[in-house]
Chain A
Amino acid sequence: MKPLLRVSVVAEPDRLKELRDAAREVLTPWGCSEELTRALVLALGEAAMNVVQHGFDGGSASGEITLEILDNSDELVFRLSDDAPTADPAKMSPRDLDDLRPGGLGSHFMRELMDRTAFLPPPEGGGNLLEMRKKVSRS
């Protein structure tokens, strides 16, 4: 797999735009349509927000998030890693959309927008590693 991007930011709410902007700057020149870039950046933004919210107590705990984007021929691979306490994926299931209330939509967006979303075994020393994959035909 060919690396397209590796960027790290402090895990705080007002730093997540840097991750999204960095992804956007790579995806469109690589060949993603504007519409697809928008969708992928939303999925990445939701995943990063989950890390800050649940892994770092909304940004009050200190840590770092790293985003890697890899070119796997006809597929893009996104890896989001952090050094927060290892999370339990079973607690991150999306809510029923018919239940109209604020919040709880992030996991649903990620699953809808990506082909595959999975937690890989955490890196040595703890933390979390989320991998998302999307088949892409370049425009």
Chain B
Amino acid sequence: MKCRIREHGAVHVVALGGDVDMSSSPEARQAILQSLERRGVLVDLSEVEYIDSSGVASLVEGYQVARDKGLKFGLVGVSPSALLVLQLAHLDRVFPIHVTVDDALADG
């Protein structure tokens, strides 16, 4: 799995790529939760080739922590593999989903 964190305006963008599975989701979880310590987070899923329920659990946890802290949390560039999993879990109705980071920031 690839995991990069960068600052973009008022948020951190956590870009995940490759396979987010049982072996790599702890790293994704840590990146999301650490990034939420100081500002909101947008998780870029555009390069995700595979994500399973363990990866989705990291996103759910990030969403809940952000909600409790009153911080922004959203998903951007959701790849077909990621969209499949989000739809199966009915999380496409829960997470704010945007095409790009700029779209997400423009949405407030």
Which residues of A pack against B, CB within 8 Å? 13-14, 16-17, 20, 35, 38-39, 41-42, 45-46, 49, 52-53, 97, 100-106, 108-109, 112-113
Task: Tell me whether B19 and A102 are in contact (CB under 8 A).
Answer: no
- Interface segment among B2-10, B37-45, B68-76, B86-94: the answer is B86-94
Chosen A-B contacts, 21 in total, with CB atoms closer than 8 Å, are: A13-B21, A13-B22, A16-B22, A17-B23, A17-B50, A20-B50, A35-B80, A39-B84, A42-B84, A46-B52, A49-B53, A52-B22, A97-B90, A100-B94, A101-B60, A102-B57, A102-B58, A102-B61, A103-B54, A103-B57, A109-B89
Tell me the residues in window 23-53 of chain B with beta carbons closer than 8 Å to chain A beta carbons: 23, 50, 52-53
Which residues of B pack against A, CB within 8 Å? 19, 21-23, 50, 52-54, 56-58, 60-61, 64, 80-81, 84-85, 88-90, 94
A-side contacts of B84, CB under 8 Å:
38-39, 42
Cross-chain contact of A49 among B54, B60, B85 (Cβ < 8 A): B54
What is the bound-complex CA distance between A52 and B53, given in angstroms? Answer: 14
B-side contacts of A35, CB under 8 Å:
80
A-side contacts of B60, CB under 8 Å:
100-102
Q: Taking chain B's interface residues, is the majority helix, strand, or loop, or is none over half, making it mixed?
A: helix
Q: Taking chain A's interface residues, is the majority helix, strand, or loop, or is none over half, making it mixed?
A: helix
A-side contacts of B94, CB under 8 Å:
100
Task: Tell me whether A13 and B58 are in contact (CB under 8 A).
Answer: no
Cross-chain contact of B53 among A20, A39, A103 (Cβ < 8 A): A103
B-side contacts of A20, CB under 8 Å:
19, 50
Task: Tell me whether B21 and A109 are in contact (CB under 8 A).
Answer: no
Task: Tell me whether A108 and B80 are in contact (CB under 8 A).
Answer: no
What is the bound-complex CA distance between A108 and B57, given in angstroms? Answer: 14
Given A100-B94, A106-B52: 12 more A-B contacts, CB < 8 Å: A13-B23, A16-B21, A17-B50, A35-B80, A45-B50, A49-B53, A49-B54, A102-B61, A105-B88, A108-B88, A109-B88, A109-B89
A-side contacts of B57, CB under 8 Å:
102-103, 105
B-side contacts of A17, CB under 8 Å:
19, 21, 23, 50
